[in-house]
């Protein structure tokens, strides 16, 4: 009786493992080449998206580092900008004192303070903008007025009213300048007849 029951038990070739293997083979047979290509295309798109995200992150990190360096480099710019009018006053005082013939000792003391201020600015990489005789640059110059001038080309700086300064490559304060303007001809000259007009008359 026991022997009959053993004979009736299913063999291992028709068990659950065999059924799973058959199903996998059938599903593998059902995958076409186009499905494989589509999956490969989707994988490629995912890879490109990941590469873009990685590149964006690298760029963001680089910009953040540059911003941090800029903040460190220009952290004193607001304070230095407030010092520039003080330097202007010293320059005016020295010019006025030299013209009025003030005492040399007093003038020497003022000049010494001005030199110390200049050294302080130089230590922070603040330099004077060279404007005299240069072509107008809207990033470094601020035009105060135009003046007729035959010695300089039109649009060039003929006079600096207030000095400009920049810190490294950043302009702290533009130079206030007067620009050359081409002289206009006399209105009387325009009313005079030309030589040709006289001949044709």
Q: What is the pLDDT of residue 141?
A: 94
163 and 175, same domain (yes or no): yes
Confidence (pLDDT) at 176: 94
Q: Which residue, among 139, 140, 159, has the nearest Cα to 149 in the 3D structure?
A: 159
- 103 lies in the same domain as 130: no
Residue 193 lies in a domain: no
- Please tell me the distance from the alpha carbon of residue 84 to that of residue 176, in angstroms, as a whole number: 13
Query: What local confidence, expressed as pLDDT, does residue 186 receive?
Result: 61
Q: Is this structure's pTM higher than 0.75?
A: no
The CATH number of residue 155's host domain is 2.30.22.10
Same domain, residue pair 144 and 176:
yes
Does one domain contain both 120 and 83? yes
| Residue 9 covered by a domain | no
- Which residue range forms the structural domain that includes residue 83? 74-124
Which residue from 62, 107, 88 is spatially nearest to 160, judged by alpha carbons? 88
pLDDT at 27: 54
Q: Which of 22-26, 46-50, 183-187 has the lowest mean pLDDT?
A: 22-26
* Greater pLDDT, 179 or 197: 179
Domain count, the chain: 3
- Confidence grade of residue 26 (pLDDT, cut at 50, 70, 90): low
Which pLDDT does position 106 carry in this prediction? 76
Same domain, 136 and 166: yes
Strand, helix or coil for residue 168: coil
What one-character-per-residue DSSP string does 96-116 give? HHHHHT--HHHHHHHHHHHHH
Whether 113 and 99 map to the same domain: the answer is yes
Q: Are residues 140 and 166 in the same domain?
A: yes
What does the DSSP assignment read for 2-13? HHHHHHHSPPGG
Tell me which of 118 and 27 has the higher pLDDT.
Answer: 118
């Amino acid at each position: 009786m026991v022997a009959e029951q053993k004979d009736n038990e299913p063999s291992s070739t028709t068990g659950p493992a065999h059924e799973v293997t058959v199903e996998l083979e059938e599903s593998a047979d059902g995958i076409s080449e186009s499905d494989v290509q589509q999956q490969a295309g989707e994988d490629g798109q995912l890879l490109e998206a990941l590469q873009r995200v990685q590149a964006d992150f690298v760029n963001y990190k680089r910009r953040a580092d540059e911003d941090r360096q800029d903040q460190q480099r220009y952290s004193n710019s607001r304070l230095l900008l407030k010092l520039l009018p003080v330097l202007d006053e010293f320059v005016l005082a020295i010019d006025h004192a030299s013209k009025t013939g003030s005492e040399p000792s007093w003038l020497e003391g003022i000049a010494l303070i001005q030199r110390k201020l200049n050294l302080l600015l130089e230590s922070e990489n603040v330099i004077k903008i060279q404007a005299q005789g240069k072509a107008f640059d809207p990033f470094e110059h601020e035009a105060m007025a135009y003046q007729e001038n035959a010695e300089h080309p039109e649009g060039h700086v003929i006079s600096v009213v207030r000095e400009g300064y920049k810190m490294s490559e950043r302009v702290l304060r533009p130079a206030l300048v007067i620009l050359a303007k081409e002289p206009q001809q006399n209105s009387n000259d325009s009313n005079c007849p030309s030589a040709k007009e006289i001949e044709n008359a």
